[in-house]
A = this chain, B = another copy of it.
Amino acid sequence: MLSERRQRVLRALIEDYIQYALPVGSRTLTERHRLGVSPATVRNDLSVLEDAGFIQQPHTSAGRVPTDAGYRTFVDELLSSGLAEEERPHPSMVEELRASASELDALMERTSAALARLTDCLSIVMAPSVFSGRIRQLTLVSLSNYQAIVIVVAEDGQVVNRTISFTDEVTCDELAAAQNLLNRVLVGQSARDMRRNLDAGTIEALRDPLVQLIIDEVIECLGESDGNRAHSLGISSLLRQPEFSNSKALLPVMEVLEDDQVLLHAFDDTVEGDGPVMVRIGHENPTSELAGVSIVACSYGRGDSEGVVAVIGPTRMNYEGAIRAVRAAQCVLHDE
């Protein structure tokens, strides 16, 4: 266990490094913080902290830099103390965003933009899963005798659509009949439910091939669209950070980000429910491509279908600000 002073030293070092992005030495530390001890003492402490794995030197005779483990204790301390739940974060942001966007997509987009601006990080806002959410209504629109669009409105107001092609001619009347039937049977179910029922073969009416085709397409479409409803902004914010000034450092991150599949699963273990904020630091990330960045994320929404809001930045990010901002975004998106 670290003595109280050594904790203070670690904390001071991390704060300085977050601010200046340069290795911090013992003298600088005593000058910038009222530690009440001499540089020599701090040097001893730094040596202990290094042995404990919280900090390291880029090379002999440079200052120290926090390790992932160092950030981890820093963040844990933050989360357990100063950043108490009761603090209402950025009330202006919440109001402003709520007022500006009447539609979920727009709200997500603006929230993402605000998040990127506030944190100087990349931000990601993923819509609640429409696959696990219930269906409110289903509409079929004929494009021709061989094509139609199926539009699904989810319980929470999200809308997804898909074009269906028929091998045989389908009249408008048949389409209307199918629409009525499907609405009677499917409303209130999720795609997950549908798949289960379909496998079980419970419902007699669904034997009709047209209806079956449409259901298949709906299920597939709902599944696919989960990956596509992510807004991400703030690459330019990342580019401004010194750790990404050589773009080689950014490449792995961008590769992950441009691959929907990876992105979709990057937050699988985000705590469920309107829960606490998850912070993953550097090598704590599941994929090696993300070993150089930290992710602050939490889910939002209620019940079956939850979205994710997250920021990604260098491990030297402002964790306090990021956690605050992500909490605020969670508020904004919660009961829209």
A-to-B contact residues, CB < 8 Å: 102-106, 109, 136-137, 139, 141, 143, 147, 149, 151, 153, 157, 159, 161-165, 221, 224, 228, 233-236, 239-240, 244-248, 250-251, 254-255, 257-258
Q: Which residues of B contact A102 (CB under 8 A)?
A: 162-165
Q: Which residues of B contact A136 (CB under 8 A)?
A: 141, 143
Nearest chain-B residue to A233 (Cβ)? B258
Given contacts A233-B258, A248-B245, contact A159 B149 (CB under 8 A): yes
Copies of this subunit: 2
Nearest chain-B residue to A221 (Cβ)? B103
* CA A161 to CA B136, docked complex, whole Å: 15
The 6 closest A-B pairs by CB, nearest first: A247-B247, A159-B161, A236-B254, A239-B247, A239-B251, A236-B255
* CA A102 to CA B102, docked complex, whole Å: 30
* CA A159 to CA B149, docked complex, whole Å: 9
Q: Which residues of B contact A164 (CB under 8 A)?
A: 102
Q: Which residues of B contact A163 (CB under 8 A)?
A: 102-104, 157
**Chain B: minimal CB distance from A180 (Å):** 14
* CA A102 to CA B143, docked complex, whole Å: 13
Contact A153 B141 (CB under 8 A): yes
* CA A107 to CA B239, docked complex, whole Å: 30
Contact B162 A228 (CB under 8 A): no
* CA A165 to CA B102, docked complex, whole Å: 8
Q: Which residues of B contact A240 (CB under 8 A)?
A: 251
Q: Which residues of B contact A244 (CB under 8 A)?
A: 247
A161, A234, A240, A244 — which one has the most chain B CB atoms within 10 A of its CB? A161
Given contacts A236-B254, A248-B245, contact A228 B105 (CB under 8 A): yes
